[in-house]
């Protein structure tokens, strides 16, 4: 089964994807994680990627497609994947369809998460990530704080704030998302694979509830 997570930064894609990964036994492929791994290597590719991400801009389609498809060809992706942060443009979506079609596969469901913009900004600015790359558990200082300040509940490693999780960068990322990525909602709606869910304090509905509903529906219909 191939699942795509859609939604602006801070809507909880990573949280929902993590639950789906555990319950459905599918690998979670985050384009952001792949990019950060490349940046950490500090080679030419990493420096090029950092130039885009540090400004809150999207990485060019051709570069993104090449990096993600190379990962999708690995053996652990054979039985399906949860894609988080890819595709982000219509060109990427069309290329992904071609990639899957050549292998007798398809996109089975697209989960589109929505959250009011003011909540997104606050959620990202107060987000903290486990520094252990084998853990990467996500916390929120307001909604889901760690038991010990600055430490991961799961592995005890230090929690960090991503350098692009600032108010200014978040606003830039949201503007970029709504201009370039929102058309994907219509693209996948026309393919009858889109499911839209609101994740918001306003309606007291968060990632865990959304994930449980999605899992129940997937198990019934697939």
Stated pTM of the model: 0.76
88, 123, 128, 195: which one is catalytic?
Answer: 88
Per-residue burial over 133-170, b if 16 or more Cβ lie within 10 Å, else e, is eeebbbbbbebbebeeeeebeeeebebeeeebbeeebb
Considering 39-43, 89-93, 171-175, the range whose residues carry the highest mean pLDDT is 89-93
Report the alpha-carbon distance of residue 20 to residue 37 in Å, rounded: 23
Per-residue burial over 188-216, b if 16 or more Cβ lie within 10 Å, else e, is beeeebbbebebbeeeeebbeebbeebbe
DSSP label at residue 167? H
Whether 13 is catalytic is yes
Kindly state which CATH superfamily the domain 2-116+181-221 is placed in.
P-loop containing nucleotide triphosphate hydrolases (3.40.50.300)
Whether 162 is catalytic is yes
**Do strands 2-7 and 81-84 pair parallel, antiparallel, or not at all (unpaired)?**
parallel
Coil, strand or helix: which one is 203? coil
Average pLDDT over residues 8-26: 88
13, 36, 136, 195: which one is catalytic?
Answer: 13
pLDDT for the residue 200 = 84
36, 128, 173, 195: which one is catalytic?
Answer: 173
71, 105, 151, 162: which one is catalytic?
Answer: 162
Domain boundaries, the chain: 2-116+181-221
- Judge whether residue 166 has pLDDT over 90: no
- Judge whether residue 202 has pLDDT over 80: no
123, 127, 136, 195: which one is catalytic?
Answer: 127
Report the alpha-carbon distance of residue 158 to residue 121 in Å, rounded: 23
pLDDT for the residue 77 = 92
- Judge whether residue 192 has pLDDT over 90: yes
Q: What tens digit of pLDDT does each residue of 81-137 get?
A: 999 989 988 999 999 999 999 999 999 999 999 988 888 898 889 999 999 989 989
Coil, strand or helix: which one is 109? strand
Locate 122 and state its tokens: 């606050």
Q: What tens digit of pLDDT does each residue of 55-95 get?
A: 777 788 888 898 888 889 989 999 999 999 899 889 999 99
């Amino acid at each position: 089964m191939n699942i795509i997570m859609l939604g602006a930064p801070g809507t909880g894609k990573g949280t929902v994807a993590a639950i789906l990964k555990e319950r459905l036994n599918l690998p979670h492929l985050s384009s952001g994680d792949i990019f950060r791994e490349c940046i950490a290597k500090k080679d030419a590719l990493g420096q090029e990627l950092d130039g885009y991400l540090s400004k809150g801009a999207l990485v060019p389609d051709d570069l993104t497609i090449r990096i993600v498809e190379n990962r999708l060809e690995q053996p652990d992706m054979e039985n399906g994947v949860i894609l988080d942060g890819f595709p982000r443009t219509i060109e990427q979506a069309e290329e992904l369809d071609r990639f899957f079609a050549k292998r007798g596969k398809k996109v089975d469901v697209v989960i589109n998460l929505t959250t009011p913009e003011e909540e997104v900004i606050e959620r990202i600015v107060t987000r903290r990530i486990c520094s252990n790359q084998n853990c990467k558990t996500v916390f929120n200082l307001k909604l889901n704080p760690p038991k010990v300040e600055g430490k991961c509940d799961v592995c005890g490693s230090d929690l960090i704030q991503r350098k692009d999780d600032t108010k200014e960068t978040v606003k830039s990322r949201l503007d970029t998302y709504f201009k370039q990525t929102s058309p994907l909602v219509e693209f996948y709606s026309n393919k009858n694979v889109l499911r839209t869910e609101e994740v918001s304090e306003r309606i007291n509905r968060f990632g865990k509830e959304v994930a449980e509903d999605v899992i129940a529906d997937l198990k019934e219909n697939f």
